[in-house]
Amino acid sequence: MCFEKKEGGLRATFFIAKICPILFLMVQQCTVAAQEATLNIMFYNVENLFDTLDNPLTADEEFTPSSELAYNSERYQEKLTNLSRVVKSAFDNDLPDILGLCEVENRAVVVHLATQVAPKTFGVFHIESPDERGIDNAILYDRSRLSILDSGLIPIDLGEDERPTRGVLWAKFIVANSHFEFYVFVNHWPSRYGGEEESNWKRMMASEALSKHLFELNKTTPNAAFMVMGDFNDHPSNESMLALSNCDKGPCLVNLCAAFEDTEAGSYVYKGEWGVLDQMLVSKNLLANSLEYSTSQDLVGFVKKDWMLYESSSDQKFFPSRTYGGTKYFGGYSDHLPVILVLKHK
């Protein structure tokens, strides 16, 4: 805002009137420059973002109006509104440049979410997974800043006797007006259904499939920048995650969320205890300040607003406010909190 200076008469007033628009323009330019000096990265397990239509090819009947969940258009729209509010709040006055998603039913629901989040013009990258329920991974990205150079889906083969699971969705991006290229890998590994130890081999299969792909990329693209995100259904100290940080036999990634384990800064609550199932891992070159963009341990965290939580009546603790608990509708956001990461231009 321009304030008129009383001393000096009309001449001083005229001078300030001329200079204030210039100052305002400079502030605008500085704001834009500050936004372009960072890349905002976000991952969010959105807890069953389904449409209300019955897909005859998948087991999605519970998310229809006639089901026990009574999942209708009104609840679907409330879900989109709630998720949009979370995404808009993650980076203060800015939006993600990359938003990795899991538990989305199809491309259409991702497009609906992108439209709800606007004003950024988001591109949508999605590939149907073999999951029987039809839940997939997806990536939203700012098309004004980023372009996809390559992409694909890494399959995770659990054998004929097991239900098929989601693959790892990946895309190679380049930043506009820049030479900076980086890979994003969105994961949603097999759950702990049946027991943690009994199901551990499934997450090890996912870890090995991802590691093999990263190893092959490193051979063809030395010094490639990797960002690995997702709901891994394991904690940083579990075998499957430690394998990703192994520099002798693994891809030598740095788990930026490892420091949050055994704290109150997790992403998911199980039996009243916070856990770090949702994580961000990066290649070491993104920490070395040797590339055009880099990050650090203090630039990662979880989005945890008061309005995203509910208070447990049994122990007065605050947990993520979810959409459904069993068949009961709560109208919340998600049973997971998002994890975010900032990359800074050097």
pLDDT of residue 40: 98
Q: Residue 75: count other Cβ atoms within 10 Å of its Cβ.
A: 18
List, in order, residues 6 or more apart from 212 with CB less than 8 Å away: none
pLDDT above 90 (res 313): no
Query: What mean pLDDT is predicted for residues 51-60?
Result: 96
pLDDT at residue 316, rounded to an integer: 65
Environment class of residue 49 by beta-carbon count within 10 Å: exposed (0-12), middle (13-18) or buried (19+)? buried
pLDDT band at 64 (very low <50, low <70, confident <90, very high): very high
Residue 20 has pLDDT above 70, yes or no: no
Cα torsion 314, 315, 317, 322 to 10°: value is -20
> How many C-beta atoms lie closer than 10 Å to residue 339's C-beta?
29
What pLDDT shows up at residue 25? 40
The model carries a pTM of 0.89
Mean pLDDT of 108-133: 95
pLDDT at 314: 72
pLDDT of residue 241: 98
pLDDT of residue 35: 52
The DSSP bridge partners found for residue 280 are 229
Look at residue 315 and tell me whether its pLDDT is greater than 80: no
CATH 3.60.10.10 assigned to domain 39-345? The reply is yes
pLDDT of residue 116 exceeding 70: yes
- State residue 299's pLDDT score: 97
The average pLDDT across 77-82 equals 98
Contacts of 218 (CB under 8 A, 6+ apart): 224, 251
Would you tell me how many other CB atoms lie within 10 Å of the CB of residue 67? Answer: 15
Lowest mean pLDDT across 26-35, 61-70, 207-216, 266-275 = 26-35
Per DSSP, what are the bridge partners of residue 146? Answer: 175
pLDDT over threshold 50, residue 96: yes
Q: What's the average model confidence in pLDDT over 112-122?
A: 94
Domain ranges of the chain: 1-36, 39-345
What are phi and psi for residue 344, nearest 5 degrees? -110, 140
Which pLDDT tens digit goes with each residue over 243-258?
999 999 899 999 999 9
Say which residue the tokens 């891809």 belong to.
Answer: 251
DSSP code string of 280-316: EEEEGGGTTT-SSEE--GGGEEE---GGGEEE-TTT-
pLDDT of 252-283, one tens digit each? 999 999 999 999 899 999 988 999 999 999 99
Model pLDDT, residue 45: 98
Has residue 287 got a pLDDT over 50? yes
